[in-house]
Amino acid sequence: MPTPRLIILGSSSGKASAHRAGSSYLLDLGSHGVLIDCGDGATRNFLQAGYAPEWVDHILISHTHADHAAGLPYFMQQRYLSGTKNPLTIHCPGEAAGPLKAIFNFGYLFKDRLPFPIEYKPLIERWPLDLDGAQVTAYPTTHLAGLRAHAERLGLPNRGECFAMRVQVGDRVILYSADLGSLNDLDAIPTPIDWLLVETTHVPLERLWPWAESRRIRRIVLTHLADDFDFDVVAHARPTTAAEILIAEDGTALDVND
Ligand SMILES: [Zn+2]
Ligand SMILES: [Zn+2]
């Protein structure tokens, strides 16, 4: 089997960036691909990285903020236009399946016109998914928890769901934080962690370094970056953790086995 790779397709935060696409990552497992989040601009960077949309057979969506999910209808349209019969499974918060179907219908991607079967599976806390070469376990974060009561007051079905994902590929573990309420959202996720793909919008870096150090994390990839992100903060903080610190850039391919 070729070396599994993680390709950063979109490393922007919720603020639109002139240089980065919205949150999106591709796990290249050799025989097939798993797309993790699909923000605006993800499809273009996916093509630039040399992949075909029909090659992805699993999509994981952490939560439905636009910077993580707005690129999905466009990605689906490319899959439709390819004529592929390769089945697709979308793993998403349970609250998201209905709205996603409505968005696809909005774009005239009616289920019975798609050339491929599509299935929606709700992400369930700590329920491992076997994705043929990768085992993914979802852990809830509190990123949207404060808005659940607000949605209930409005009579909306939103339940404030957002999930971090622990992705095991062979003997390597990638932890994708998605968006966090606080760093403590990740406390329940077991070590070892080889790659921590962590968002920088809601996490103070001065807290992240000791947290990562206490868990002996080998590599930290800082992502979900706004254009005004202070890169000097990273340079000054490096001595407080032995982890290698990388700054996410769209198009970067990481060798998972490194
Ligand atoms: Zn976000
Ligand atoms: Zn978010």
Query: Residue range 4-30: average pLDDT?
Result: 97
Distance 115 CA to ligand 1 centre (A): 31
Query: Residue range 214-236: average pLDDT?
Result: 89
Q: What is the pLDDT of residue 232?
A: 81
Residue 65 belongs to a domain with what CATH number?
A: 3.60.15.10
State the amino acid at position 178 in one-letter form: A
pLDDT band at 234 (very low <50, low <70, confident <90, very high): confident
Residue 23, domain extent? 5-255
Per-residue pLDDT tens digits for 78-131: 999 999 999 999 999 999 999 999 999 999 999 999 999 999 999 999 999 999
Q: Residue 151, CB half-sphere, CA atoms under 13 Å: how many?
A: 12
Distance 31 CA to ligand 2 centre (A): 31
Distance 23 CA to ligand 2 centre (A): 10
Distance 68 CA to ligand 2 centre (A): 7
Distance 63 CA to ligand 2 centre (A): 7
Per-residue pLDDT tens digits for 164-221: 999 999 999 999 999 999 999 999 999 999 999 999 999 988 899 999 999 999 999 9
Distance 23 CA to ligand 1 centre (A): 7
Distance 168 CA to ligand 2 centre (A): 23
What are the beta bridge partners of residue 34? 27, 58
Q: pLDDT averaged over the chain?
A: 95
pLDDT at 1 over 70: no
Structure tokens at 169: 């590929």
Ligand nearest to the CA of 67: 1
Q: What is the pLDDT of residue 110?
A: 98
6 burial (CB, 10 Å; 0-12 / 13-18 / 19+) is: buried
State the amino acid at position 255 in one-letter form: D
Between CA 108 and CA 149 the distance in angstroms is 33
Indicate the number of domains in the chain.
Answer: 1
Distance 221 CA to ligand 2 centre (A): 18
Distance 90 CA to ligand 2 centre (A): 18
